[in-house]
Amino acid sequence: MSIQVKFFASLRESLGQSETTVEQASTVTEVWDLATQSATPPNNLLVAVNLDYANMQSQVKDGDEVAFFPPVTGG
């Protein structure tokens, strides 16, 4: 099993990594804990699974891409 994990913007800088891989996880929370060594997630953390918004309780499976990022500020 392999799940690709990405971090963006200020979260990428504060964690010091842009992407990693997690081998075993069934929820986004488990992905976060494994990818960040159980860092405390920011209150305003956003998450996407396979390019769609998700939440920390969302299920993940082999081959998924999970992205974590801060509030967006485009436009």
What secondary structure, in 3-state letters, does the chain show?
CCEEEEECHHHHHHHCCCEEEECCCCEHHHHHHHHHCCCCCCCCCEEEECCEEECCCCECCCCCEEEEECCCCCC
Beta carbon of residue 37, minimum distance to other proteins (angstroms, whole number)? 23
Among 10, 24, 26, 59, binds other proteins (CB under 8 A): 10
Beta carbon of residue 74, minimum distance to other proteins (angstroms, whole number)? 3
Instruction: Give the footprint of other proteins on residues 34-63 (CB under 8 A).
Output: 48, 51-53
Number of amino acids touching other proteins (CB under 8 A): 16
